[in-house]
Structure 1
Amino acid sequence: MKEKILKLLKDNKNEFVSGQEISEQLNVSRTAIWKYINGLKEEGYEIESVSRKGHMLLSTPDILNYEEISEYLSTQHIGREIFYYDSIDSTNIKAKELVYNNEGHGTVVIAEEQTHGRGRLGRDWSSPNRKGIWMSIILKPQIEPQDAAKITQIAAAAVWKAINQIGVITQIKWPNDIVLNGKKVCGILTEMSGELNRLNYLVVGIGINANIDNDEFPKKILNMATSLKNETGKEINRRELVALILNNFEALYNKLINDNSTEEAIKICKENSALIGKNVRLIIKGEEKEAKAIDINEDGELIVKDKEGNISKVISGEVSVRGLYGYI
């Protein structure tokens, strides 16, 4: 009901809507209306309430709940159910809990802050309040477990497209990072549950440094991390960016499921790669190996050539990739 009242106020923004009108349209008591209005005010919505006039929405807060994202959303399934939290340990952890509570395909978990955010290989991820996009997507695809890595490439391509649509040109650092001016602005963590020949579910975690200022980053990552705002000098509309990511993700994901095709996603990852053509360090179980990144194949694997000229495939779950002289 709160969502319906909010929509009614948004449809009449900067105009008073009487309590009687709300009551008649939504079939709810005046007492209940006051309760929902006060709840919206507590969430940060600026609403003027005047006796005999009603309620007028003056401004909306910068928050990532469904009501604020939905106006930009064009998906059929992805993001049509959103679990929104002000603060949470990890959106991936919560998403996996929700799977076991029978939440369905396409459900999204979004938090304004993560207290124990994680990246690949167990790395910590800084997630300050209302400064970034911290979300996880629950997927239940009918694909083989060995094809799960393709989902990470789809997510990377979707994020790249979304950021490009708001006017910022980035690169993709295989397998799961988006970089801007040589520094990381986004990380993707794909986790799965499955058996030998059966995939139960996937959770795709996406963390984007949207509006974090330099002094808000931990000092230990300042040389490798940045934010979209830092690099562009502009405040990012987080609500629009979330929706664009989900819109692009669903379109690319459907091509995999319906047509068994990742052609567009892999093309985006290849054409905007931060690694292809460069010499890199492959860090596998603590051991380093130097090689040249030469391609990304149709399965989303990195193709590298070592000093002896041997060509091999690199599987994302087993390796960390670093540039010879910096992050990329």
Structure 2
Amino acid sequence: MKKEILNILKSNDDFISGQMLSDRFGITRAAIWKYITQLKKEGYEIESISRKGYRLISSPDLITSEEITPLLETQVFGKNIVHYDSIHSTNSQAKLLCDQGLVEGSVILSEEQTSGRGRLGRNWSSPKGSSISMSVVLKPDINPIHVAKVTQISAAALSLAFEEIDVECNIKWPNDIIVNNKKVCGILTEMSSELNKINYVVMGIGINVNINQTEFPDELKPIATSLKIEYNKQFSRKQIIASFLKHFEKLYFEFINTGSAESSFEICRKRSLLLGKKIFVIKGSEKTPAIAESIDANGELIVKYEDGTLSNLISGEVSVRKSME
């Protein structure tokens, strides 16, 4: 009921009378007032004038279905949005819902994530109302060995979404988005599969959007940032989500339909933070110096070690070597 009332307010610039809403939904005007009060508590600015009714003045930057759906330019992705005010992990919740039959293109969103995870089990900080904690459900009919490509398709789509809001970023192969040499976004792709069949893929994305410098733990301040910190302004979370889903859907279905993710890989090459740089290839506590040569047609990172040998990395951790190392 609250959603339907909000949609009516959104679709009208003028006042909507309480009596009209009461007649429309077959409930009392007092009940309408309770729903209006709930919307105000959620951050919607609604003007109320006796004998005239209610008028929506402004909407908060919530990442609910009601806020994102009008912005979507997709056929599949984002058509089913599951939103939480607070949750332990959108990826964990997405996997639970997948086991219950959640369809491809579904998006799990939360205003706050209390136990988010990055790669290698690291924590991912997600303050309430200022970041994007999102998981996207995929059910591709491909061999499981190709799932790693989805991470770079996502990275390419994110870079295009950032371009739309005039944010310059780089991609740190395979799953980080970097702004001004600090991490602003991470991607964690998880899969449930059998030998040659994928049950589902859950692609988790965490984006630091409007987080203030003081909200970062001290240990993260040297390496992490937010769009707000770097550009000194607020960004619309719902616009970023809608833009990402638009670009991801195009690149993803291009990959599914043709078997090639070259369009995405080319974007990753163009925006790469690593190519041509001296890096470390990290395996456990071992750091091996190398040079990042290229990203090949399979999305693998080609590195050249100091002895001249070349190696293809399917996944893993790399870091840029500082000049004194």
Q: TM-score, normalised by structure 2?
A: 0.95
Q: Who is 2:317 aligned against?
A: 320
- Paired residue secondary structure (2:282): strand
CA distance in 1, matches of 2:103, 2:39: 27
Q: Output the CA distance in 2 between the equivalents of 1:235 and 1:35.
A: 31
RMSD: 1.5
Q: Could you say which residue in structure 2 is the equivalent of 1:38?
A: 37
1:189-268 pair list within 5 angstroms: 189-268=188-267
TM-superposed CA distance for 1:264, in Å, is 1.1
Residue 79 of structure 1 is matched in structure 2 by 78
1:3 Cα offset (Å): 2.2
Partner AA of 1:321 in structure 2: V
Query: Normalising by structure 1, what TM-score?
Result: 0.94
Partner of 2:147: 148
Q: In the aligned structure 1, how far is the partner of 2:12 from the partner of 2:58?
A: 12
1:296 paired to 2:295: yes
Amino acid at match of 2:12: N
Contact in 2 for aligned 1:149/1:299 (Cα 8 Å) = no
Q: 2:184 matched to which residue of 1? A: 185
Q: Identity percentage over the alignment?
A: 51
Q: Where does residue 12 of structure 2 map in the other structure?
A: 12
1:10-33 deviations in Å (ceiling 9; x for gaps):
1223x2101233345x44333553
1:115 aligned counterpart, secondary structure:
coil
Letter in 2 for 1:30: T
Which residue of 2 is the match for residue 172 of structure 1? 171
Q: Deviations over 1:275-319 (max 9, x none)?
A: 000111111132221111111112211111111111111021xx2
Cα distance in 1 for partners of 2:264, 2:22 equals 48
Does the residue aligned with 2:274 lie in a helix, a strand or coil?
Answer: coil
5+ long unaligned stretches in structure 1? none
Count residues in correspondence: 322
TM-aligned CA deviation for residue 52 of structure 1: 2.5
> Are 1:28 and 2:26 matched, yes or no?
yes
Distance (Å, rounded) in 2 between the aligned partners of 1:180 and 1:241 = 15
CA distance in 2, matches of 1:64, 1:302: 34
Cα displacement (A) at 1:272: 0.6
| Counterpart residue identity of residue 89, structure 1 | H
Matched, 1:122 2:112: no
Q: Deviations over 1:102-149 (max 9, x none)?
A: 111111111111111110010111111111111000111111100000
**Per-residue deviation at 1:196?**
1.5
Q: Report if aligned partners of 1:140, 1:202 keep a CA contact under 8 Å in 2.
A: yes
1:47 aligned partner, one-letter code: I
The 1-side partners of 2:299 and 2:145 are apart by: 11
SS, match of residue 201 in structure 1: strand
Give the distance between the partners of 2:80 and 2:256, measured in 1 at CA.
20
- For structure 2, which runs of at least 5 residues remain unmatched after alignment? none
